[in-house]
Every structure is written in structure tokens, then in C-alpha cells.
Structure 1
Amino acid sequence: MSRPVRVAVNGATGRMGRLLVELLRRDRRFELAAALTAPDAPEMGAPVAPGSTVRYSHDWSQAGALDVAIDFSSPAGLAEALAHCEARGVALVVGTTGLDAAMLRRLEAAGRAIPLLRSANFSLGVAVLARLLREAAAVLRDWDLEIVEAHHGRKVDAPSGTALLLGEAAAAARGTTLARAGVYAREGQTGPREPGAIGFAVVRGGDVVGEHTALLLGQGERVELGHRATDRSIFARGAIEAAHWLAGKSAGAYALDAMLAERIAGG
């Protein structure tokens, strides 16, 4: 695209939204066209930065022509963003989590009408880790597989969405699902490990941004694949790269792995 990509951020006053707004304003590949937030947000109507003509708003109709929207809001906020993007053929990058089955079905249907990319983790390093894990899990099919994750003590869900993403990638590579292979707790007399199980272990404490390690354990050897996040901005940067890649694509449900595959091919 020869001109800057016109982008809207939904959830712009949240922790991730603020990072996105800040980074997009400095990125010459983009024009920040709209910053959407909840109607009761204290920032409503204020400029996103001193001197900026873009103001925090809840009115999608004021967003103007868009190439892509990035959503890190809430399930309700995502529903509004999705309706706007579907009605106007705008590409949508979804980082919002905690979605119910009905919303997941809506996103699946939307992927047949607009370019849509959803991920539980927009770290490009994690995307590479998932790709490597798929290959390793398929080749080392009979090896035991455990996924260990660590996060700060304020995180309320476990295992993390990223740990589950990694588990799903490994399970698919082995022709199974986490519903069949996942083991999320061990306590007391558990008996021997079930062949083919994918185990999860969770650590919570301190200010850990996010650490994930996949252990493939064989007889006399093991392979460890890991990723450690030290700066939350990596997730915003990954979402921005995804938005730039997705803008102008044909309708479809995309994943970060498709972007990586295109880069590997030199696209």
C-alpha cells in the first residue's frame, strides 16, 4: 500500500491500547484514524496526545474510512468493532480474550467476509516458538511433552492463553486435541504418566511479564523450547505488524503463522 494504512484502535484507553496508540503515532506506515474506548472512560473526548486531532471516542461512525482495526477491548467492545468492520469491509486484528463460544462462532463467520486475524499472543517470538513446537512435537511424537508457564501474581487465569496456544499447536501436530490430551493438575497418587499426555505447570508471582517453556522429554535426552518476555510492548508491536500485513488482504481467517510463512518465503 503506497499511502499510510488508516487504522483504528478499539480499547484505546486500556494498557495495550495506550501502547498501540503511542507506537502507531510514531510509525510512518500508519495513520491513526480513530481511538475507540468505553463510553464512560474518563478520557472520552480528550486528544490522544497533546496537539493530536484524534480524540478518544465511542462513536465508530466518526472513524471515517479505515483499512484495518486493532481490537484489545472487551467481548462487548469487540462485538461493536466486528459489526463496524463487517459492514464496511474493514480488516480486523483481534487480541481481545475471554470470548465465549458464540463470539468465536461470529469471528469464524466474519472471516469469510473480511480479512480477520485473531491471536491469544501477538509476540512474534511466541509465534515462532509455536511453529517450532509443532515441528518438534510431530517428529518426536513418542516423547513426553510438558508446558511450563510463569506470569505475575495478578494474572487471574491459568494456564495462560499462550500456554494453551502452544498446547493446541503440539496436539494438532500429533493428531489429537487438548480436550483429549491435556493434563492441568497433578496431586497425590496420580499413577504413572499417561502416554501422549500434554501436561501444564503454572507459576505465579512477582512482576513476570510472561515465560513459556515446552519440554520434550525422551529417554536419555530432552529438548527445551522457550520464550521469555521482558517488555509488554512486544505484544503491541506484534499486533501492529499483523495489522500492516493484514491490510489489503482478501477475506479470510488468518493466523500469525501465515504472516511468518510469507516472510520465510520472502513475501
Structure 2
Amino acid sequence: MTEPTTTSSSVSSSSAPVLRRVAIAGASGRMGHMLIEAVRNAPDCRLAGALDIAGSDAIGADAAAFLGFTSGVPIVADLRTGLQDAQVLIDFTRPEGTMAHLAVCRELGVQAVIGTTGFSDAQKAEIAEIAKDIAIMMAPNMSVGVNVTLKLLDMAARAMSTGYDIEIVEAHHRFKVDAPSGTALKMGEVIADALGRDLKDCAVYGREGITGERDPSTIGFATIRGGDIVGDHTVLFAGIGERIEISHKSSSRVTYAQGALRAVRFLSGQRNGLFDMFDVLGLR
């Protein structure tokens, strides 16, 4: 396939949108469907590849069939086939799959927008190494609202650095496989950084039995799983005489898909490097 340079003979090349050729990982899943629909509706993006695991019933089907349209892009399991025409991959799958995808992206020079969560420290280090060769935007949550919330949490933590106990409560659907959520962990990291702490040293991920009094230097996490909850996050700053709650609640995955497309556009100006949504949204 070739990339068009104008939308019509009467429109100058300077006014025509610059098309970004996008591949989607996990194309037959709920988030994959949302991303495919978002790409299809974006005037500056074109679906160029669709990936799924070998053995999936979706292999060979048209990627947009669920929308009642024919995109001409089949869902494939072979990574090189699925990425050969793409400029950027959007991946909201699982750590093992994402790492395999990134290895091929590095080989082919394909950029990556990563929304996968649950990476180990070793995998994060490997992603940083891969980012020396290709541009990667990685964030546990691509919602614009969530990232504005992270900025607010940084401000709140600095202002309430003493005298307040900090607890993070998150809720997700019954199918989520990692806990706490990547967004909850990111919230904890932002708060810990603002306080000059390392989350690894101050996080408490569960309480049971006789725990003793709360250590004021800790950041607590509570996890809820049930039903079809898209994603709720609340950070509680509990002081003596007052309580501040900063919350974000998602009712649709559309926000994640639109955030991913903003990341795709941001990466168009990058050759390599590891970025996050603060970079995309100019929140540094």
C-alpha cells in the first residue's frame, strides 16, 4: 500500500492530513475493537495491521467486520506480516505479548504506543533499552482525565506531605488479571515521588489480622474486582479533622482509545525515546 499525499487534486498537500498507518494488537478483544473503531473514525489515521494470538477464532477475519465494514486488513498472528505496513503499533495486551511485539517493532522500525500493564522491573528495563532505537509512548492509563488527575495528585501530595494518611482504592471488572491496576500504581509512584519516597519501600498492598497502628509514611492500596466496572480510582488524603478525596471514574474505554490516538500523533515527531502521557499532553 502507498500513503496518499493529497485528498483531492484541488487540495494542496499542506492542507491534507498526514496519515499515520496504525496496527492494533489484540484486535479481537474489547479494547482492540474500540481502538479499531477509533482509528477508522480518525481522518489522520489508517488501519494498517491487526494482530491476535495464534488459535484465535478471529484469525483471517477482516479487522473491521464487527463494525459491519470491510477494511481490507485481515487479523493475523504472524507479527512481521501484521506490522509490515505499519508506522506505529497500539498495544493494550499482556506483558509477554507486548515484549514479543516490541522486539519485532524494533527490528522493523515501527513505533509503539503501549497501554499494557503488569510489567516486571526487568521488562521495564528492556523496554527502556528498546526505546533507544524506536519511539515508545508507554502509560498505564491514556485517559486525558486520568493524567490530569495524576498532576493534581502531585500538587496535593506536596501540599499535604505531613499529617495526612494516603490510601489508594481502585475498582475494575472481573476479567482484569493484574492488581493493583497499573493506574493505581502510577498514582502511588507520582505521590511517592512528590514526597521524596520510593514506592517500593512505602507501599502496603494488603492488611489482615492484627496490623498495629498505621505507619504514617506508608501509601496503602485496596483492590476491588467485580462486574463490568471499566475503572474507578480514588486517592484518599485523611488528616485529623478533614479528608480530601481525588477521584476519577471511567464509564467507557473510548477515553483510552482517544488518548492512544493523541499518543500516535505525538510520536510522529519522534525518532526514538521513551515517553508517557505527560509528554503527550504537555503536563511536565
TM over 0.5: yes
Q: Does 1:187 align with 2:238?
A: no
Map of 1:22 onto structure 2: 37
Tell me by how many angstroms 1:38 deviates: 1.5
Question: Which has the higher relative contact order, 1 or 2, with Cα contacts under 8 A spaced 6 or more apart?
Answer: 1
Residues of 2 paired with 1:19 and 1:116: CA distance?
21
Pairwise CA distance, 1:6? 0.9
**Pair 1:118-2:138 in alignment:** yes
Structure 1 stretches of at least 4 aligned residues deviating more than 6 Å after TM superposition: none
- Deviation sequence 1:26-47 (CA, Å, 0-9, x none): 1111011111112222121221
Deviation at 1:64, TM superposition (A): 3.4
Which of 205, 210, 214 is the equivalent residue of 2:226? 205
Q: Give distance in 1, aligned partners of 2:153 and 2:269.
A: 30
CA distance in 2, matches of 1:205, 1:60: 33
Q: What's 2:27 paired with?
A: 12
Q: Say if 1:149 and 1:160, in contact at 8 Å, map to a contact too.
A: yes
Distance 1:84 1:156, change over 3 A: closer
Q: CA shift at 1:193, angstroms?
A: 1.6
Q: Is the 8 A contact 1:10 1:77 kept in 2?
A: no
Residue 91 (1) aligns with residue 111 (2): yes
**In the aligned structure 2, how far is the partner of 1:225 from the partner of 1:39?**
42
Query: CA, structure 1 residues 152+2, in 2 after alignment: closer, same or farther (shift >3 Å)?
Result: closer
Q: Which amino acid aligns with 2:130?
A: A
What is residue 139 of structure 1 aligned with on the other side? Answer: 159
CA–CA distance in structure 2, aligned partners of residues 59 and 248 of structure 1: 28
Aligned to 2:169: 148
* Alpha carbons 2:168, 2:220 under 8 Å: kept: yes
Correspondence 1:55-74 to 2 at 5 A: 55-62=74-81, 63-74=83-94
2-side partners of 1:52 and 1:150: how far apart? 35
Partner of 1:174: 195
Aligned residues: 263
Is 1:233 aligned to 2:248, yes or no?
no
What letter corresponds to residue 9 of structure 1 in structure 2? I
Q: 1:160 aligns with which of 156, 178, 181?
A: 181
Alpha-carbon shift at residue 228 of structure 1 (Å):
0.5
AA in 2 matched with 1:184: Y
CA contact (8 A) 1:14 1:73 kept: no
Post-superposition CA distance 1:153-201 (Å, at most 9, x none): 4434332221111111101111112211111222333222212211122
Which SS does the other structure have where 1:127 is aligned?
helix
Equivalent position of 1:53 in the other structure: 72
For the pair 1:223 / 2:238, whether they are aligned, the reply is no
**Contact map agreement 1:11 1:77 (CA 8 A) in 2:** no
- Which runs of no fewer than 5 residues in structure 1 stay unpaired? none
Task: Give the match for residue 8 of structure 2.
Answer: none
Percent identity of equivalent pairs: 42
Displacement, 1:141? Answer: 0.7
Change (3 A) 1:80 1:150: closer
State TM-score, norm by structure 2.
Answer: 0.85
Specify every segment of 5 or more residues in structure 2 that has no aligned partner in the other structure, as ranges.
1-15
SS at match of 1:172: helix
In 2, the alpha carbon distance for the partners of 1:38 and 1:156 equals 17
